[in-house]
Structure 1
Amino acid sequence: MIFLGNHWGTLYLAFEWIIRLAMLVLVPFRRSPEAARSWLLLVLFLPIPGLVLYLLIGRPRFPKWRRQRFADLPRAGAAGSAMTRTAKIFPPDIEPSRKPLADLISNLGNLPAVGGNAVELLDGYEDSIDRLCDDIDSARQHVHLLTYIFADDAIGKRVIEALGRACSRGVTCRVIIDALGSRPWATRAVATMRALGIDARQALPVRPFRWQPARADLRNHRKITVIDGLIGYIGSQNIVAADFRAGILNQELVARLMGPIVGQLQSVFISDWYLETGRHLVGSGLFPPSDDMGQVALQILPSGPDYPIAGSERLTVALIYAARKRVVITTPYFIPDEGLIEALQSAVLRGVDARLVVSSVQDQRLVGLAQRSFYAEMLRAGVRIFLYQGRLLHAKHVTVDDDMAMIGSSNVDIRSFTLNAEANLIIYSRHEIGRIRVLEKHYFAASHELHAAEWGRRVISHKVLENLARLVSPLL
């Protein structure tokens, strides 16, 4: 018995070391150094649980069937032709020094910059819902809505009722909601919508042991709406009450769009619809002829695990390197990788006024701890940090100098960069950037600016917890 016990103990230890050595070779492939270090640290201390977790969520890739479906997207069909046509009809007025960035975005997301657009920024939570419902009530052909969270609370019911009224007029309404993001409400919300004639679907449902399963960590985090191919919405706001988390009030920023850019939002929705249903949406009404609605040059960047390059991350870093005078990053979650940290450090060394606006209110404790572990490093580099008070500032945008901005669903964290499907709007317009700067001034005024001496005085237990959370931050 003693011999057998020693025998099995030796086999167990050998198995653990086989896992460690195998993962030492496997983990670094196609993975950032930060993520590789975190996985290897986990496997070093907990080989078997680490292996199981790695097999479940270790590789930021969709299953083979979805990758094949993404490869089969009809990019060269009606959507691609519409994008090419509108780009030629409405050439964007972009400062020459920003054209390389526009080319980068086009190569990352396959969508060109276009002119002839109008932008309306909506920062009032109820106002944006009111405007959305009014536009749905005016719809004549179709409404396409994609969001991470769709609740069946008072806000969700208002939108559902507007969609139901549209269906009763003969308008085709299609809705995609993320299955995990909307989990507490998804079943009821989808059932209610389908009863009203709305074609509602759950994106990436997690159904173990079923055909075409989805991973729990790869989510569709986009928030876009397209109405008749003429009006579009993009931003950070979900279809849920501002206070859906007890004691926390969300503050958002949404852009309402008119002009050729709406066709790009439409192409993103059509692609996601095909990925979830396997059905191509066709028809002349999807891409109506574009009118000249304004003077603003815009561009959409979709990103996510489907794409070979982390587009949102690549663009964020590029924007920081492109800054000449000022860069302001507004995000509820800030967990940067080494490339983004170096970009901010380089910006300050060039004399750029680099500012980070994050919320003092946090809704995710582990993420909040990991986020705070980066503050000392940012402050030492000369980045000014503003802690927004009173509300969870859920708005997500980056402004560069006075002529370029990015607004959308992407946080400045590794999850948004590599695991989530995101959609961001890029704005090339001094007038529109000026309007965002006004919002930023409000953020600064409503914030507590953090200073290095003050931050260094926090208790040692907080520092320990923050740095422990930072060890697993690439896995969050």
Structure 2
Amino acid sequence: MNLLNILLGSFFGFSLIWAPILHIIIVILFGFRLISVRRPVGVAIAWFLIVILFPIVGICLYVLIGERPVGRKLTRKIIRMDKEYAAITELMRKRYLVDKDQLPIEGRALSLLAEAKNGSPAIAGNKIELFTNSLEILQDFIDEINRAKKTLHLEFYIWALGGDADRVGEAMIAASQRGVICKVLLDSLGSKDWFKSSWPARFKSAGIQVTEALPIEIGRFQFRRADLRLHRKIFVIDNTIVWTGSMNLVDPRTFKQDSGVGEWVDAMVKIEGPVASQFELTFAFDWSVDNPKISHFKDVAPAPSPTEGSVLAQEFSSGPVYRDDILYQVLLSAIMDAREELTITTPYFGPDDGLMQALMAAAGRGVQVTLIVPKLNDSTLVAWSSRSLYADLMDAGVHIAEFHGGLLHTKSLLIDKRIAIFGSVNFDQRSLRLNFEISLIIYNEMFCATLQKLLDSYLAQSDRVNPVTWSRRVRWRVLLENAAHLTSPLL
């Protein structure tokens, strides 16, 4: 017993002496790491405080989600393929050089910025339709698949099991069996249930090629951030028609019905015309990057589709490693360019200080800025964090509306009713910094008028946040929201 007491005393004595020293060493080394990667000040301070308070947990979290690496091997592959991709997109920019003359004056700077860093140019001659009923969209997908003659390329964050989403899968199998080349690229995390189901085996048996994007590999978290995701929604048919927007391959009647927020409310656009070839090229690039059997990007620029309409539009893709931070710059520029009206819809609102200042400055110079977000959100932490920003926004003159007709999942920016940015991008740090995203920039007043009608329908189902009433909410809610906001740089 005396020996046990001596051993325990020695252990605790050792811990009391060395634990603080070890803590200090961990904090100093971590501080050097933060300095070496030059993180944004708010993010760096947040991580530093976490490691000071909870050193072991903080270091583990930082390894998992602290930086933006996609892994050394994948980074080298993306950089190599991006150089090969650049030669193809340069030809595309030369081919459509004259189309820039059709850009409205207020859209020229935005278009040039979106085209920077090896992006796609604005292209004329497109037909664009807006669709807002999810079940009808799924049926349209099935109809498109049944009409396809050559290729079907699907790229989505989520393919959920059940309902009409399964009917899309059955249509794909039938299309492949009649000779259509089918490729399906899905995010590993977003579509994890689909990958665990019988669908991958059924697809492969039918001749459908399936690739899992950014697979989560246990033991490789120190080399690849676990939560970098492929968040794009792209469906290309025969290189002539493309669908994109906010909707995943899910049936809203069955998707996340236990989350208590109602059905997901989405919107998609169908594009016919030459801009479809830009989406086809982006799909080909993503497919090549995520398919381990492909080492080089050798696809040529797809032949442009025939002119279908009069709409000028521009595909806009973004993501970590390649085109890094271009999305942030485009959104910031769009807000700063607004002169009359700016309406934003997003399910997840988490801007940084720069975007907050841009929104408040727009309202301050007389722009009618309206933010439409869901009243109920499936991410409680994001909801609390976003509400901590309401007071500052409303003090600056920003109008905030909370949609109560379900979880509003549509992601859009409407600028002066002349330019629209529409796609998969949320107005949060995850979309801006971490996800691979896709958008369509539309320079057409007729389409913008159609989008405005949709936004008006959202506003009709929303509760306007009253600045006076909001300022009187109970103190504990203010503290809770402000505490949640402290985590926003880390999300």
Smaller-chain TM-score bracket: over 0.9
| 1:288 shift after superposition | 3.0
- Alignment partners' CA distance in 2, 1:89 and 1:226: 25
Of 51, 54, 62, the match for 2:70: 62
Q: Check the 8 A contact 1:406/1:426 in 2, yes or no.
A: yes
- Alignment partners' CA distance in 2, 1:471 and 1:81: 42
Gaps of 5+ in 2: 1-5
Code of the aligned partner of 2:105 = P
- Alignment partners' CA distance in 1, 2:361 and 2:299: 49
Q: Does 1:49 align with 2:54?
A: no
Q: What SS does the aligned partner of 2:369 have?
A: strand
Code of the aligned partner of 1:147 = F
Q: Quick one: structure 1 residues 272 and 75, their matched pair in 2 at CA, closer, same or farther if it must change by over 3 Å?
A: same
Of 264, 279, 288, the match for 1:250: 264
Code of the aligned partner of 1:300 = E
Within a 5 Å distance, the mapping from 1:164-175 to structure 2 comes to 164-175=173-184
Q: Quick one: structure 1 residues 283 and 51, their matched pair in 2 at CA, closer, same or farther if it must change by over 3 Å?
A: closer
- Alignment partners' CA distance in 2, 1:174 and 1:18: 50
- Alignment partners' CA distance in 2, 1:31 and 1:195: 47
Q: What SS does the aligned partner of 1:184 have?
A: helix
Give the aligned partner of residue 177 of structure 1: 186
Within a 5 Å distance, the mapping from 1:60-209 to structure 2 comes to 60-73=68-81, 74-76=84-86, 79-80=88-89, 83-84=92-93, 86-88=95-97, 90-91=99-100, 93-108=102-117, 110-188=119-197, 189-209=199-219
Q: Check the 8 A contact 1:301/1:311 in 2, yes or no.
A: no
- Alignment partners' CA distance in 2, 1:308 and 1:98: 20
| 1:458 shift after superposition | 2.0
- Listed one character per residue, the Cα deviations across residues 34-83 of structure 1 (whole Å, up to 9, x for unaligned) are 32222122112112211121122211121111111111213145x43662
* Aligned length, in residue pairs: 474
Of 19, 22, 39, the match for 2:26: 19
Give the aligned partner of residue 462 of structure 2: 447
- Alignment partners' CA distance in 1, 2:28 and 2:465: 43
Give the aligned partner of residue 397 of structure 1: 412
Q: Check the 8 A contact 2:277/2:304 in 1, yes or no.
A: no
Give the aligned partner of residue 44 of structure 2: 36
Code of the aligned partner of 1:19 = I
Within a 5 Å distance, the mapping from 1:153-302 to structure 2 comes to 153-188=162-197, 189-209=199-219, 214-243=224-253, 244-246=255-257, 247=260, 248-278=262-292, 279=294, 287-302=302-317
| 1:3 shift after superposition | 5.6
Aligned-residue sequence identity (percent) comes to: 34
| 1:95 shift after superposition | 0.9
| 1:5 shift after superposition | 3.1
- Alignment partners' CA distance in 1, 2:477 and 2:164: 37
- Alignment partners' CA distance in 1, 2:350 and 2:221: 34
With structure 2 as the length reference, what TM-score do the two structures score? 0.92
- Alignment partners' CA distance in 1, 2:86 and 2:228: 27
Of 356, 364, 371, the match for 2:386: 371
Q: What SS does the aligned partner of 1:220 have?
A: coil
Q: Quick one: structure 1 residues 242 and 214, their matched pair in 2 at CA, closer, same or farther if it must change by over 3 Å?
A: farther
- Alignment partners' CA distance in 1, 2:204 and 2:101: 40
Which stretch of structure 1 is more off in the superposition, 431-440 or 460-469?
460-469
Q: Check the 8 A contact 1:82/1:263 in 2, yes or no.
A: no
Q: Check the 8 A contact 1:179/1:202 in 2, yes or no.
A: yes
Q: What SS does the aligned partner of 1:293 have?
A: coil
Q: What SS does the aligned partner of 2:193 have?
A: coil
Q: Quick one: structure 1 residues 182 and 100, their matched pair in 2 at CA, closer, same or farther if it must change by over 3 Å?
A: same
Q: Quick one: structure 1 residues 274 and 92, their matched pair in 2 at CA, closer, same or farther if it must change by over 3 Å?
A: farther
Code of the aligned partner of 2:270 = R
Q: Does 1:358 align with 2:373?
A: yes
Q: Quick one: structure 1 residues 211 and 448, their matched pair in 2 at CA, closer, same or farther if it must change by over 3 Å?
A: closer
Q: Check the 8 A contact 1:361/1:390 in 2, yes or no.
A: no
- Alignment partners' CA distance in 1, 2:167 and 2:443: 34
With structure 1 as the length reference, what TM-score do the two structures score? 0.95
Give the aligned partner of residue 417 of structure 1: 432
Gaps of 5+ in 1: none
Of 362, 379, 384, the match for 1:347: 362
Query: Which structure: larger Rg?
Result: 2
- Alignment partners' CA distance in 1, 2:86 and 2:48: 42
Of 325, 338, 344, the match for 1:323: 338
Q: What SS does the aligned partner of 1:314 have?
A: helix
